[in-house]
């Protein structure tokens, strides 16, 4: 890296103690070096300097009272990273690991991911270090109401449209939507991932997992291959993993493992998805409860071991940096041919390198998991029209969006001389539209 090296240096210096943000920026700037060489006018206009600096960062206190009457204080975040091509768009994550650096890495990734969808959405992300695990519905509600009481001052259907992420699903979106509506006295599409009775889109719940499989299927198809008859390992057991499992199975694959932050289940005969949905979506239990229904399956403590299971396709869909170099080497050794990132940045840079060097088809998160936010954008369109499309209509749009993402990422990779490198391809394809727009809009 030559032209962009000082920008990375500056990011490291000015944003101390944010390793995930550094990691995300480094990967992108490395991919963009040839773009900078080709477009000196963008360098002169400070496009690269500006894109790594959030337009706005909001941090706030979130006080709430638990069922026993005890007061708790959490920290709330919303990073409005880039609004060049549309209102800020991106999820809210509720997890004890959340801090400003994590939200900045996610917000930064979201700029390019959202651009890749081809839809008019800018990049943002938010959340809190609140831990929803073990909390009652009433505690979750009170937390969400307190969080939205502040957040509602900064968002709006044409300004910033949050959605879910880890720890934020339909229940949380419902409580937050209710509080927004009450305070602002307006019924608008200010959040996505809403319930179907108040403006949610059909297929939004399924979209991230489905989209990931459509992307992986596109990578496989280009090499004359498919999911048919393949053994699949998916980490996580949230929304992305569950609907990834559903689509991988529909496409002819056999999913044999899922996990949560405590451990993983291995079911050689294939995962019983109905049981998983009941455990995770209805009963909100740990994945270990799967053994109560299927005692013939195995449960192992700790989640890293899941990558030792031999598979053809690996879909890391839990969280950032969950798959390291050693796990990548094991996957390669066991004959894995394709990896699709369902979570955001689940593979460490060293792991990605192992996959690329061994010609494993690698779908980076920005491309592979963009189906979720793309369908959020479709939810925004339906809300603006005060109309809703059928499941089939939304799914058909999702399929064509994922096909386009594949096409744009692979063409960009080819154009820049790194055929089949979808990491570089996705970064460049996503960046070009944002850069052109930022240039057209002047120095702001
Ligand atoms: N949290 C999801 C993501 O990482 C979805 C965001 C959205 O729908 O706005 O892209």
From first to last of the 444 residues of the chain, give the pLDDT tens digit. Answer: 999 999 999 999 999 999 999 999 999 999 999 999 999 999 999 999 999 999 999 999 999 999 999 999 999 999 999 999 999 999 999 999 999 999 999 999 999 999 999 999 999 999 999 999 999 999 999 999 999 999 999 999 999 999 999 999 999 999 999 999 999 999 999 999 999 999 999 999 999 999 999 999 999 999 999 999 999 999 999 999 999 999 999 999 999 999 999 999 999 999 999 999 999 999 999 999 999 999 999 999 999 999 999 999 999 999 999 999 999 999 999 999 999 999 999 999 999 999 999 999 999 999 999 999 999 999 999 999 999 999 999 999 999 999 999 999 999 999 999 999 999 999 999 999 999 999 999 999
- Sheet with 88-94, strands from edge to edge, namely 56-65, 71-82, 123-128, 88-94, 160-163
Q: Which of 344, 368, 392 is the last residue of a domain?
A: 368
Sign of CA dihedral 227, 211, 426, 407: positive
One domain, residues 71 and 12: no
Q: Which of 35, 53, 71 is the last residue of a domain?
A: 53
Determine the distance separating the centroid of ligand 1 and the alpha carbon of 207, expressed in angstroms.
10
One domain, residues 359 and 224: yes
One domain, residues 245 and 172: no
Determine the distance separating the centroid of ligand 1 and the alpha carbon of 212, expressed in angstroms.
13
Atom of ligand 1 nearest to the CA of 114: 10
What does the pLDDT read at residue 106?
Answer: 98
One domain, residues 75 and 165: yes
Lookup: tokens for 362: 């690698």
Give the residue ranges of DSSP H helices in 52-169: 100-116, 137-151
Lookup: tokens for 387: 């109309």
One domain, residues 274 and 241: yes
One domain, residues 44 and 91: no
Nearest to 365 by CA among 129, 125, 133, 162: 125
Q: Give the closest residue (by CA) to ligand 1 atom 5.
A: 373
**Hey, which residues are catalytic here?**
125
Q: How far apart are CA 431 and CA 202, in angstroms?
A: 29
Whether 60 is in a domain gets the answer: yes
Determine the distance separating the centroid of ligand 1 and the alpha carbon of 84, expressed in angstroms.
18
Q: What is the DSSP letter of 281?
A: I
Determine the distance separating the centroid of ligand 1 and the alpha carbon of 375, expressed in angstroms.
9
Query: Which of 103, 115, 126, 165 has most ligand 1 atoms within 8 Å of CB, for mutation?
Result: 165
Q: Which of 134, 154, 187 is the last residue of a domain?
A: 187
One domain, residues 242 and 361: yes
- Enumerate residues 6+ apart whose C-beta is below 8 A from 170: 164, 193, 194, 195, 200, 205
One domain, residues 240 and 324: yes
Query: Which of 87, 90, 121 has most ligand 1 atoms within 8 Å of CB, for mutation?
Result: 90
Nearest to 376 by CA among 226, 128, 168, 229: 168
Domain count, the chain: 3
One domain, residues 13 and 136: no
Q: Give the binding-site residues of ligand 1, using a 6 Å CB cut-off.
A: 89-91, 163, 165, 192, 344, 372-373, 376
One domain, residues 217 and 113: no
Domain coverage including residue 183: 56-187
Determine the distance separating the centroid of ligand 1 and the alpha carbon of 378, expressed in angstroms.
13
Atom of ligand 1 nearest to the CA of 376: 8
The CATH number of the domain holding residue 70 is 3.40.50.10860
One domain, residues 226 and 352: yes
Q: How far apart are CA 82 and CA 260, in angstroms?
A: 32
251-300 pLDDT, tens per residue? 999 999 999 999 999 999 999 999 999 999 999 999 999 999 999 999 99
């Amino acid at each position: 890296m030559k032209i962009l090296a000082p920008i990375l240096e500056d990011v490291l210096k000015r944003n101390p103690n944010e390793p995930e943000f550094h990691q995300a920026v480094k990967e992108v700037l490395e991919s963009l070096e040839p773009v900078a060489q080709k477009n000196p006018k963008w360098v002169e206009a400070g496009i690269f300097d500006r894109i790594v600096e959030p337009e706005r960062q909001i941090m706030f206190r979130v006080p709430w009272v638990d069922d026993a009457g005890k007061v708790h204080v959490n920290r709330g975040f919303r990073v409005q990273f880039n609004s060049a091509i549309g209102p800020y768009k991106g999820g809210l994550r509720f997890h004890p690991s959340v801090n400003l650096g994590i939200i900045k890495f996610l917000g930064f990734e979201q700029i390019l991911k959202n651009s890749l969808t081809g839809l008019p959405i800018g990049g943002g992300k938010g959340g809190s270090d609140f831990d929803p695990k073990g909390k009652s519905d009433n505690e979750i509600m009170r937390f969400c109401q307190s969080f939205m009481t502040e957040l509602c001052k900064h968002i709006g259907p044409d300004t910033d449209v949050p959605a879910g992420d880890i720890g934020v699903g339909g229940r949380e979106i419902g409580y937050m939507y209710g509080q927004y509506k009450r305070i602002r006295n307006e019924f608008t599409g200010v959040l996505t991932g809403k319930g179907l009775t108040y403006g949610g889109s059909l297929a939004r719940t399924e979209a991230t997992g489905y989209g990931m499989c459509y992307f992986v299927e596109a990578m496989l198809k280009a090499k004359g291959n498919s999911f048919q008859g393949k053994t699949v390992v998916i980490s996580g057991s949230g929304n992305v993993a569950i609907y990834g499992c559903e689509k991988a199975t529909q496409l002819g694959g056999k999913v044999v493992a899922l996990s949560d932050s405590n451990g993983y289940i291995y079911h050689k005969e294939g995962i019983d998805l109905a049981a998983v949905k009941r455990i995770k979506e209805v009963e909100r239990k740990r994945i270990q409860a799967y053994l109560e229904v299927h005692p013939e399956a195995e449960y192992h403590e700790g989640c890293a071991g899941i990558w030792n299971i031999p598979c053809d396709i690996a879909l890391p869909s839990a969280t950032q940096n969950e798959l390291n170099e050693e796990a990548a080497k094991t996957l390669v050794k066991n004959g894995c041919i394709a990896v699709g990132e369902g979570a955001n940045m689940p593979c460490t840079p060293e792991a990605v390198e192992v996959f690329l060097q061994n010609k494993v088809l690698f779908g980076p998160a920005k491309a592979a998991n963009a189906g979720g936010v793309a369908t959020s954008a479709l939810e925004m369109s339906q809300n603006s029209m005060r109309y809703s499309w059928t499941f089939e209509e939304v799914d058909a749009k999702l399929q064509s969006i994922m096909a386009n993402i594949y096409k744009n990422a692979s063409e960009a990779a080819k154009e820049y001389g790194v055929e089949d490198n979808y990491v570089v391809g996705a970064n460049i394809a996503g960046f070009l539209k944002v850069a052109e727009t930022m240039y057209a809009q002047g120095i702001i």
